[in-house]
């Protein structure tokens, strides 16, 4: 781990508190001891305790409410940090990463899906189909069209980081307004057809086809934004081994 604090005492104090939180000593939502109590428990001054608690708050692991106490919010540095970090980049940079991850997710999903995850992907497509029939712009839950299906594929890849990055990228793009713009710029029927073909290739465990179709699908979204599009032919040659 990096050295976030400048001195040994403050650093070890932070490490101790982080370890006790991650160990589940204080469940999510519960209140940790007050500053004077921690001062006594850890044998350090109140300012040192405060600095450590502040760092935990910066990491999203705790939240301190004035005059009420400090409460545990997450046993690990918050996944929302990923979202915060992504939000600092230009949407075009986010889209470039998203395309690469989408292809990877499609490949891996095709190679490694289990029945439960395939069902989730088919459900996503079914929901999209229903939404299109009813001429709704969106999908129940306020989720932008496309997000649900792509998220299901990321889940099916079995890679949690891939799934979390997908979610965070979607949120970051949505907050920039580009996510909705992409979804609305594409003919729903065409989009749904592409999704269906991708799903078919995944179901058939056709890794190359899944990667190729997903690359074309992502490029279509890119084209609507008038960004430079890279060739996609060779992407399919990078098959997942095994």
Subset of residues 88 to 147 that bind its own copies, contact rule: CB under 8 A: 88-90, 93-94, 96-97, 99-101, 103-104, 107-108, 111-112, 114, 116
> Binding its own copies by CB under 8 A: which of 34, 41, 47, 193?
47
Touching DNA, residues 24-43 (CB under 7 A): 34-36, 39, 43
Q: In whole angstroms, what is the distance from residue 192 CA to residue 187 CA?
A: 9
Cβ atoms within 10 A of the Cβ of 213, count? Answer: 23
Asked if 8 is part of the footprint of DNA (rule: CB under 7 A), the reply reads: yes
Stated as kind and residue range, the H or E segment containing 188 is: helix 188-203
Q: Is 148 helix (H, G, I), strand (E, B) or coil?
A: helix
Touching its own copies, residues 160-219 (CB under 8 A): 160-163, 165, 175, 207-209, 211-212, 215-216, 218-219
Q: In whole angstroms, what is the distance from residue 61 CA to residue 80 CA?
A: 10
Asked if 46 is part of the footprint of DNA (rule: CB under 7 A), the reply reads: yes
Cβ contact 153:109 at 8 Å: yes
112 interface partner picked from DNA, its own copies, none, CB below 5 to 8 A per type: its own copies
24: left (phi over 0), alpha (psi -120 to 50) or beta: left
Which range in 66-74, 86-94, 207-215, 223-231 contacts DNA by CB under 7 A?
A: 66-74
Asked if 4 is part of the footprint of its own copies (rule: CB under 8 A), the reply reads: yes
Cβ atoms within 10 A of the Cβ of 44, count? Answer: 18
Of 30 and 136, nearer to its own copies (C-beta) is 30
Cβ atoms within 10 A of the Cβ of 157, count? Answer: 24
93 interface partner picked from its own copies, DNA, none, CB below 5 to 8 A per type: its own copies
159-100-211 Cα angle (round to 5): 80
Which range in 24-32, 84-92, 137-145, 178-186 contacts its own copies by CB under 8 A?
A: 84-92
Footprint of DNA (CB under 7 A): 5-10, 34-36, 39, 43-48, 50, 64-70
């Amino acid at each position: 781990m990096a050295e976030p604090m400048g001195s040994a005492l403050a650093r070890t104090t932070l490490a101790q508190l982080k370890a006790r939180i991650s160990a589940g000593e204080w469940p999510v939502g519960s209140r940790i001891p007050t500053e004077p109590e921690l001062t006594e428990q850890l044998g350090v001054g109140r300012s040192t305790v405060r600095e450590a608690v502040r760092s935990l708050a910066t990491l999203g692991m705790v939240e301190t409410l004035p005059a009420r106490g400090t409460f545990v919010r997450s046993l690990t540095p918050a996944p929302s940090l990923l979202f915060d970090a992504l939000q600092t980049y230009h949407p075009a940079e986010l889209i470039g990463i998203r395309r690469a991850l989408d292809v990877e997710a499609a490949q891996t999903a095709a190679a490694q899906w289990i029945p439960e995850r395939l069902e989730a992907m088919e459900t996503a497509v079914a929901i999209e189909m229903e939404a299109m029939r009813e001429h709704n712009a969106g999908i129940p839950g306020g989720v932008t069209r496309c997000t649900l299906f792509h998220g299901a594929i990321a889940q099916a890849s079995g890679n949690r980081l891939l799934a979390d990055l997908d979610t965070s990228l979607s949120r970051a793009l949505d907050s920039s307004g580009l996510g909705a713009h992409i979804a609305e710029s594409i003919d729903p029927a065409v989009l749904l057809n592409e999704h269906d073909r991708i799903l078919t290739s995944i179901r058939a465990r056709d890794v190359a086809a899944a990667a190729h179709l997903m690359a074309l699908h992502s490029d279509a979204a890119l084209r609507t934004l008038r960004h430079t599009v890279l060739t996609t032919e060779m992407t399919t040659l990078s098959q997942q081994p095994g």
